[in-house]
Amino acid sequence: MINVRALGSIGKTLGNGSFTFNEDSMQLIVLLQKIFNLDGKKGDSFEILSDIIVAINGIAVSTKIDEFVLKSGDEVTLIPISHGG
């Protein structure tokens, strides 16, 4: 199971602040496409990433997002670029 938390305006825009995927593993890019209802074009996914910070198990990821594979037990946090401190 992979858990996702969408903070602040992201959760509000998506209409839900948390998601659970009952998968043993999943590419991060696929997870983002599912959450944001993208049609599978990598360009769309990277455009979304320019407006958010993605943290996996509390650590921000910024490189090789299209190659990152999540595994069961991972927690993904989606943080808007504009967020309070």
Which residue segment(s) compose the domain that 12 sits in?
Answer: 2-80
Integer Cα distance of 85 and 74 in angstroms: 24
Residue 32 lies in a domain: yes
How high is the pLDDT of residue 40? 56
Q: 55 lies in a domain?
A: yes
Short-list 8, 11, 27, CA closest to 19: 11
For the chain, the domain total comes to 1
Q: For the segment 1-54, what is each residue's pLDDT rounded down to a tens digit?
A: 999 999 998 999 888 899 999 999 999 989 988 888 766 555 555 566 677 899
For residue 85, tell me if it sits in a domain.
Answer: no
Tokens, residue 66: 């299209």
Q: What is the pLDDT of residue 81?
A: 86
Residue reference for tokens 């090789």: 64
Q: Are 26 and 20 in contact (CB under 8 A)?
A: no
Q: Is there a domain that residue 27 lies in?
A: yes
Determine the average pLDDT of the residues in 50-76: 89
Q: Residue 49 belongs to a domain with what CATH number?
A: 3.10.20.30
